[in-house]
């Protein structure tokens, strides 16, 4: 199975600060279709996960543009330009290229 390694495990940031989360996969996520199925989701406390980014860098329509995704092959990054209170929770990367799909262990964003 593809192992997804997220760092850091946790982040403690003040409102307005930037955030960066790394996600590395044990094998390339570039699929035979030419697409890379690396996605990001956010699970706020006590809630189900919510979509953020798909195919590395494409934001879902409701996601604020302070979020961005980048990367290729095996190394990916989620960035938040300026953290807001509603951004707290656990961020997961997950890959949908190789079955079984796999999740990173999560990065917990806390407010300082």
Of the pair 31, 49, the CB lying nearest other proteins is at 49
CA distance 26 to 14: 32
3-state secondary structure 16-84: CCCEEEEEEECCCCECCCCCECEEEEEECCCCCCEEEEECCCEECCCCCCCEEEEEECCEEEEEECCCC
The size of the interface with other proteins (CB under 8 A), counted in residues, is 21
CB 72 within 8 A of CB 36: yes
Q: How far is the CB of 82 from other proteins (least distance, A)?
A: 25
Q: How far is the CB of 43 from other proteins (least distance, A)?
A: 8
Q: Using CB under 8 A as the criterion, what x/- string covers residues 28-67 for binding other proteins?
A: -----------x-x-x----xxxx--x-----x-------
**Residues in contact with other proteins by the rule CB under 8 A:** 39, 41, 43, 48-51, 54, 60, 90, 92, 94, 96, 99-106
């Amino acid at each position: 199975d593809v192992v997804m390694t997220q760092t850091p495990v946790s982040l403690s940031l003040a409102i307005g600060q930037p955030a960066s989360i790394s996600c590395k996969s044990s094998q390339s996520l570039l699929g035979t279709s030419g697409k890379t199925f690396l996605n990001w989701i956010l699970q706020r406390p006590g809630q189900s996960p919510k979509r953020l980014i798909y195919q590395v860098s494409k934001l879902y329509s409701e996601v604020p543009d302070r979020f961005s995704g980048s990367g290729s092959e095996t190394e990916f990054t989620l960035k938040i330009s300026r953290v807001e209170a509603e951004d707290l929770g656990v961020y997961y990367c997950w890959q949908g290229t190789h079955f079984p799909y796999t999740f990173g262990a999560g990065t917990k964003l806390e407010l300082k």
